Amino acid sequence: MWYSLLDLKILAPGEILAHVAVTDDSLWFSGHFPDNPILPGIAQLNMVADIIALSRQERLYIKRLNRVKFKKVVRPGEQLEIHTAATGTTGLYSFRLTHEEQDVCSGMITLDDQQPRQNANDQHY
């Protein structure tokens, strides 16, 4: 795993609080950016999906993202707090990542247990 899960708590049904540390040697930092490493937004979103999947003990995939805002750069070695809460809609969660009580990223994420299908017209690189 490219980050360390420090703890994971189920606060209430559908509500999760986790603490993670972004490891210095994560491949996400390789080339992103030379001499100024930052954690890409997609990696932050992947952590949110991982934490929810882990709490539910099932494999989940990102289906949709809404109102996502990135507010602070994440550097190697930083510890993040991830708070998620299920909404009334199946698979839809609100989330918030913070570092030292400052918002890093927030939004809505929809997860599904079915891997997204690719169209025959999708380009592959």
What CATH number should be reported for the domain holding residue 24? Answer: 3.10.129.10
120 domain-assigned: no
118 domain-assigned: no
Q: What is the extent of the structural domain holding 81?
A: 3-112
Radius of gyration of the chain (CA): 15
Share of the chain above pLDDT 90, in %: 75
Chain position carrying tokens 């040697």: 25
What pTM was estimated for this model as a whole? Answer: 0.89
CA distances from 120 to 51, 112, 115, 117, 125 (A): 31, 21, 16, 10, 14
Among candidate residues 18, 92, 95, the one with its CA nearest the CA of residue 51: 18
97 domain-assigned: yes
- Residue 117 backbone dihedrals phi, psi, to 5 degrees: -85, 145
pLDDT at 98 over 60: yes
The stretch 82-111 carries a mean pLDDT of 96
Give the model confidence (pLDDT) of 6-50 as tens digits: 999 999 999 999 999 999 888 888 877 878 899 999 999 999 999
Among candidate residues 8, 24, 14, the one with its CA nearest the CA of residue 78: 24
93 domain-assigned: yes
125 domain-assigned: no
33 domain-assigned: yes
For 28, the token pair is 């996400």
Report pLDDT for 35.
85
Number of domains present in the structure of the chain:
1
Q: How high does pLDDT run on average in the chain?
A: 91
27 domain-assigned: yes
For 11, other C-beta atoms within 10 Å of its C-beta total: 11
List, by residue number, the catalytic residues. 32
52 domain-assigned: yes
For 124, the token pair is 């592959």
Report pLDDT for 25.
87
